[in-house]
Amino acid sequence: MIVLVTGARSGFGLLTAVSAARAGHVVYAGLRDVSTADDLMRAAGDLTVHPVQLDVTVDEERKAVVARILAEHGRLDALVNNAGIAMAGPLEEVAEADWRRTFEVNVFGLWELTRLVIPSMREHGDGCIVNVSSMAGRMATPCLGVYAATKHAVSGLSEALRHEVRPFGIRTVLIEPGPYKTDIFGRNKRIADGVGDASSPYAPLVGALEALSGKAIDGAGDPQDVADRIVRVLADPSPAFRHTMGPSTVVRRLAKWGLPDGLYELVVRTTIDKAKP
C-alpha cells in the first residue's frame, strides 16, 4: 500500500509513518519543513519512509507531492491527514489572523489535499482517507474554542465525505484522540497574544485551565496506541467511522451525552472553579 502521512515530524504523524512502513507499506511522510526530518529518519531506520516537503497550506506543495507519488507508483492508496496546530486563548482575545491560520492548517489544508487524492482512488476503486480529529471535535472546552471549532469542522466534513465516496470503494475514517503525549499542545501549540496577562478579565479562567491541562498531560496516553490503530484501519476493508481513543474519553463521552446539558455545564464549571488560583 502507498501511504501519505501529513504532519510527520513528531507525535502521531511520525509514529504512524514508521509503524505503517514497519507493516510493509511504502510511506511518504509530509513535513512542513523537510529539513526537520532527522527524528523521523532515525526512527525509520531501514524502513521505506520518504520524507517530502509538504506544508498543507501551500497549494504548490500539495500538488507536487501527490503528482510525485502518482508518477512513481501510479496510485495512492491511503492518506492520513494528521497535520494540525492548536490555538489557545479565550475566543474574545484570539485575533482574526490566528483564527484564519488555525482553520487554514486544520481544515482547509486537510480538505484541499483530500480533494487531490480522491480522483486516483476513485479510478482504482479503492482507497482510505484517515482524518485525525480530536475529542475537541465532539465537545469544546474553554480557551480551546478555536481548536474545537476546527475539529468540529473536520468531523462534519468527514461524516459527509464517508457517504459521498463510499460508492467508489473509498473508506473514510475519523480518529478522535483525547489527551496524548504529543506536540499538539507543546511545539505545535499557538497561544493568542495577551493570554496570561494578569490584567485580562479571563486571567482566573486561564490560570485554572493551565492547572487542569498539566494534570491532563500527566495522565495522557501513549501516542503509539493511536499510530497502531491508524495502521490497523489502513488494512481494514470495512473500518468503523469513529475511533475515539484515550484514557479519559469514555468518561467524558458518557458525561457529555448521559447528563442533561445543565448538569454537564455545572460539572465543567465546578471543575474549573476548584482549579482557580
Does residue 275 belong to any structural domain of this protein? no
**Contact, 230 vs 124, CB < 8 A?**
no
Please write the tens of the pLDDT for every residue from 9-62. Answer: 999 999 999 999 999 999 999 999 999 999 999 999 999 999 999 999 999 999
Does residue 93 belong to any structural domain of this protein? yes
Does residue 226 belong to any structural domain of this protein? yes
Q: Is 147 a catalytic residue?
A: yes
Least confident of 33-47, 104-118, 248-262: 248-262
Residue type, 195: V
Rounded to two decimals, the pTM is 0.89
Does residue 152 belong to any structural domain of this protein? yes
Structural domain boundaries, residue 137: 2-248
Instruction: Give, in order, the Cα–Cα distances in Å from 83 to each of 11, 12, 93, 102, 211.
Output: 10, 9, 25, 11, 27
Please write the tens of the pLDDT for every residue from 56-95. Answer: 999 999 999 999 999 999 999 999 999 999 999 999 999 9
Does residue 259 belong to any structural domain of this protein? no
**What distance in Å separates the CA atoms of residue 27 and residue 53, rounded to the nearest whole number?**
14
Does residue 254 belong to any structural domain of this protein? no
Query: Which CATH number fits the domain that encloses residue 109?
Result: 3.40.50.720
Question: Structural domain tally of the chain?
Answer: 1
Cell numbers representing residue 104 in the block: 487554514
Task: Determine which one of 147, 180, 202, 264 is catalytic.
Answer: 147
**What distance in Å separates the CA atoms of residue 19 and residue 24, rounded to the nearest whole number?**
9
Does residue 253 belong to any structural domain of this protein? no
Sheet holding 127-132, edge to edge: 49-53, 26-31, 2-5, 78-81, 127-132, 170-177, 242-245
Number of H helices, E strands in the chain: 10, 9
What integer best gives the mean pLDDT of the chain?
A: 89
Does residue 223 belong to any structural domain of this protein? yes
